[in-house]
C-alpha cells in the first residue's frame, strides 16, 4: 500500500483518488497540482475505504478494474456510510466498464475514460466541485431555516435571490432571461386558468429554471463560438444539475419538475429523459413555450432578436412536436390579442 498526499495548493476541496497503478496516481497528482487542486492518493482500495470512514472528502476519482475490489464494489461500501461523496469513475477498459444501470444505482455522478489528455477529466472535476459547492450552500441554508420557521416566507425569498445572484454572476444573460421566462410562464398560466398556487410555482420555477448552469464550466457556458458535440452534451446536463441542487430543499420540491424538464419536447426528442406528450409535467410544458419564446425574441451574441411574425411562425410550426398544442395555441392567442402584456414584460426586464 502506498499513500501519497500532495501539498494543498489553492483549492479548499479535498479530493481523493484510488487506483492500483501508481504511475496513474503520479500523473493525476501532477496535473491536479498544476490546476490548483490538492490530492490524496491510494493504491489499495481497502485502505482508501478506511480513510474515507475517518476523513471527510468532497470528490473521489475511482479506477474501475482494481484488486482486491473493483470500483463498483468500492462504491457499494462507501455508500453504506457516505451518501454525499461526489464520485467520478475512471477506466482504461471501456468494454469492461459497469453498465449504465449500475452507475445510476450506485449514484456515481460521472464517468471518464483514461487518457493522456486530462482536459475532459478536469472539466468533470470543475463541474463536480461547483455542484458540491452549491449543494453545501443549500444545505447550510436548510440548517438555518430549521431555526427560523416564523420567518419562513422571508427566508424563502432570500434563498431565491441568493441562488439567482450566484447564477447571474456566472452568466449575465441568465438575469433578464430568467425574469422574462418567469413572467411569460405566469402570463400563460393565467390564460390557462391555473390557480394562484400553480402560478406561484410557475413564477419561482421560471426564476430558477437555469440554476443548473452553475455546474457548467465557464469555458463552455461563456463560449462565443459554436459548441462541439461534447460541449453541447455538457450544456444539456444543466436541467438535471438544477434539479439535484434544488432537491436538497423541501422548499423547492414543487418547482423541480419545471427546472428538470423544461427542455423536454412534446414529441419525445428533448432532454434529459426524452419524455413524450402528457408524460411531461404540465408546468414543464408551459416552461418550454415560455423559454423558447424568450430565446427567439431576445438578442443573442450571434444574432439580433427575431421579429414577432417569425417567432409566431416558429411556434405554429412546432405545435405538437416541440410544444404542447393546447399550451402553444394559448400563447399564440396571447401574441395575437394581448401582445401589450408581453411588451410590458419585455420593457420591465430588459
Q: What residues act catalytically?
A: 213
Cα 154 from Cα 160, distance rounded (Å) = 10
The three-state secondary structure class of 311 is: helix
- DSSP H/E element including 15: strand 15-18
CA-CA distance, 177 to 183, in Å (whole number)? 10
Residue 141, CA distances (Å) to 4, 112, 144, 256 in order: 35, 32, 5, 18
Phi and psi, residue 268, nearest 5° = 90, 5
Could you tell me the CA-to-CA distances from 53 to 76, 81, 337 in Å, in that order?
13, 7, 63
What per-residue string of b and e applies to 78-111 under the rule 16 or more CB within 10 Å gives b? bbeeeeebbbbbbbeeeeebbeeeebeebebbbb
Q: 125: closest CA among 16, 243, 209, 255?
A: 16
Whether residue 129 contacts residue 13, with contact meaning beta carbons closer than 8 Å, is answered with yes
Nearest to residue 78, comparing CAs of 99, 98, 59, 92? 59
Classified as helix, coil or strand, 191 is: helix
133 in helix, strand or coil?
helix
Amino acid at each position: 500500500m502506498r499513500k501519497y498526499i500532495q501539498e494543498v495548493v489553492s483549492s479548499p476541496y479535498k479530493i481523493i483518488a484510488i487506483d492500483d497503478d501508481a504511475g496513474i496516481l503520479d500523473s493525476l497528482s501532477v496535473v491536479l497540482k498544476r490546476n490548483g487542486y490538492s490530492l490524496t492518493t491510494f493504491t489499495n482500495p481497502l485502505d482508501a475505504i478506511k480513510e474515507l470512514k475517518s476523513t471527510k472528502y468532497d470528490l473521489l476519482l475511482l479506477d474501475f478494474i482494481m484488486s482486491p475490489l473493483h470500483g463498483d464494489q468500492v462504491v457499494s461500501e462507501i455508500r453504506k456510510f457516505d451518501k454525499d461523496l461526489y464520485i467520478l469513475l475512471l477506466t482504461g477498459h471501456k468494454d469492461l466498464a459497469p453498465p449504465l444501470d449500475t452507475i445510476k444505482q450506485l449514484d456515481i455522478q460521472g464517468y471518464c475514460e483514461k487518457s493522456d489528455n486530462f482536459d475532459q477529466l478536469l472539466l468533470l472535476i470543475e463541474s463536480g466541485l461547483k455542484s458540491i459547492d452549491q449543494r453545501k450552500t443549500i444545505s447550510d441554508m436548510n440548517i438555518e431555516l430549521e431555526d427560523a420557521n416564523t420567518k419562513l416566507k422571508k427566508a424563502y425569498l432570500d434563498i431565491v435571490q441568493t441562488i439567482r445572484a450566484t447564477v447571474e454572476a456566472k452568466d449575465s444573460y441568465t438575469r433578464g432571461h430568467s425574469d422574462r421566462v418567469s413572467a411569460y410562464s405566469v402570463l400563460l398560466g393565467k390564460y390557462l386558468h391555473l390557480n394562484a398556487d400553480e402560478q406561484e410555482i410557475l413564477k419561482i420555477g421560471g426564476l430558477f429554471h437555469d440554476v443548473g448552469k452553475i455546474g457548467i464550466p465557464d469555458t463552455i457556458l461563456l463560449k462565443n463560438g459554436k459548441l462541439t458535440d461534447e460541449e453541447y452534451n455538457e450544456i444539456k446536463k444543466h436541467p438535471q444539475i438544477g434539479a439535484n441542487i434544488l432537491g436538497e430543499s423541501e422548499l423547492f420540491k414543487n418547482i423541480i419538475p419545471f427546472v428538470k424538464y423544461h427542455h423536454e419536447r412534446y414529441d419525445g426528442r428533448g432532454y434529459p429523459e426524452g419524455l413524450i406528450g402528457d408524460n411531461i409535467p404540465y408546468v414543464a410544458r408551459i416552461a418550454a413555450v415560455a423559454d423558447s419564446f424568450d430565446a427567439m425574441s431576445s438578442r443573442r451574441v450571434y444574432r439580433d432578436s427575431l421579429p414577432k411574425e417569425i417567432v409566431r411562425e416558429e411556434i405554429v410550426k412546432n405545435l405538437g412536436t416541440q410544444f404542447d398544442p393546447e399550451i402553444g395555441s394559448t400563447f399564440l392567442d396571447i401574441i395575437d390579442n394581448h401582445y401589450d402584456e408581453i411588451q410590458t414584460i419585455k420593457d420591465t426586464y430588459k
